[in-house]
Amino acid sequence: MSVKFSRIQKWKKIGIIALLLILPLCLFFLILHFKTDNKVIVDASNSRLNKKESLNSAYLVVLIMSNPTKSATRKTIRETWLSMSARNVKHFFVVGSKGLTAEVLQDVIAENKSHQDILILDSVAESYDSLTGKVLTAFQWLHSNFEFNFMLKCDDDSFVRIPPLVEELAKQPQNLLYWGFFKGGSSVFQKGKWKENGWFVCDTYLPYALGGGYILSSDLVTHLAISSDLLQLYKSEDVSVGLWLSPLKINRVHEVKFDTEFKSRGCYNQYLITHKQSANSMREKHSNLIQSGNLCSSEIRQRYSYNYNWTVPPSKCCKNFDPELP
């Protein structure tokens, strides 16, 4: 009996020793497995980042606000200034499709099938009242689907000289850039289609780059896209963008080569963007560039320009009209 008990004690000691040896090994493999699982998660996270990096990319993305029914205008733009684009630049005509008739929608889809350059926003109804929401929705789409450095927002009655624009853009700050022809101290519209019913910020508009064409760096587009649910939408999209960016410490650059006001200042060969252009004007400017390398058959001034004075309040920013400026 004592021999049997002794044997049991012996095996018990062996079992304890084996358990003491096995437990650290088990713990080691458990830790190793945990670290491996974490590594997989990190790799998966990196893959998701790489997935976005593998999507469409461009140095400059041009968003051209258009109307679904204006296929002739888009055709003119494709045949004129978009035909003189630059490397690493992509463009999209932005249209809203909510509430469109089946016939109009099918026409837009067919056009996009041919050209692959129309951004159709299903949640946006096409009207002036929805323009600010349309622009912001386009920013959100761009942020989610593209790797890019800069975004140019312009209208489909703007003529853009992309190659020299890209050259000038390379000279600008590459981050936190808000580049355009700025206006400040304008009275808030109280009537007409631009009437601002919900404006309460102050008795004038804050400085903003005029909507015929302005450029934002990708970090600012990202800021607006991820803040979109909190942004108040006002009637004028360019006024809204200026207000949304007003508290930020960014690089606001006033550019006299952007002729982007409600009425063109004329024609100067230095202009990079010219607003309020008809189809005939676009074709004429395009022909001039091909034949002579100049935008204008002859330079002409219709209105004076100014350099924005950032050292004074907005009400005094834009009083010094300079006949030497384009």
Query: Any idea where the domains of the chain sit in the sequence?
Result: 1-48, 57-322
Per-residue model confidence (pLDDT) at position 87: 87
pLDDT band of 261, cuts 50, 70, 90: very high
Per-residue model confidence (pLDDT) at position 28: 44
Residue bearing the bigger pLDDT, 73 or 196? 73
pLDDT band of 192, cuts 50, 70, 90: confident
Cα–Cα distances in Å, from 66 out to 57, 77, 119, 151, 283? Answer: 22, 11, 10, 16, 18
Per-residue model confidence (pLDDT) at position 213: 98
Identify residue 135 by its one-letter amino acid code. V
Q: How much is the mean pLDDT over the chain?
A: 86
Mean pLDDT for the stretch of residues 99-125: 96
pLDDT of residue 147 exceeding 90: yes
User: What homologous superfamily is domain 57-322 in, according to CATH?
Assistant: Spore Coat Polysaccharide Biosynthesis Protein SpsA; Chain A (3.90.550.10)
Per-residue model confidence (pLDDT) at position 36: 31
Residue bearing the bigger pLDDT, 44 or 167? 167
Beta bridge partners of 91: 62
Cα 326 to Cα 324: distance, rounded to the nearest angstrom: 7
pLDDT of residue 1 exceeding 80: no
Per-residue model confidence (pLDDT) at position 84: 95
pLDDT of residue 303 exceeding 60: yes
Per-residue model confidence (pLDDT) at position 50: 33
Cα 181 to Cα 262: distance, rounded to the nearest angstrom: 12
Per-residue model confidence (pLDDT) at position 195: 83
Per-residue model confidence (pLDDT) at position 52: 44
pLDDT of residue 2 exceeding 90: no
CB-based contact 35:43 (threshold 8 Å): no
Per-residue model confidence (pLDDT) at position 129: 87
Per-residue model confidence (pLDDT) at position 15: 53
Cα 272 to Cα 259: distance, rounded to the nearest angstrom: 8
Classify residue 16 by burial, with Cβ atoms within 10 Å: 0-12, 13-18, 19+. Answer: exposed
pLDDT band of 40, cuts 50, 70, 90: very low
pLDDT band of 245, cuts 50, 70, 90: very high
pTM as predicted: 0.82
pLDDT of residue 237 exceeding 90: yes
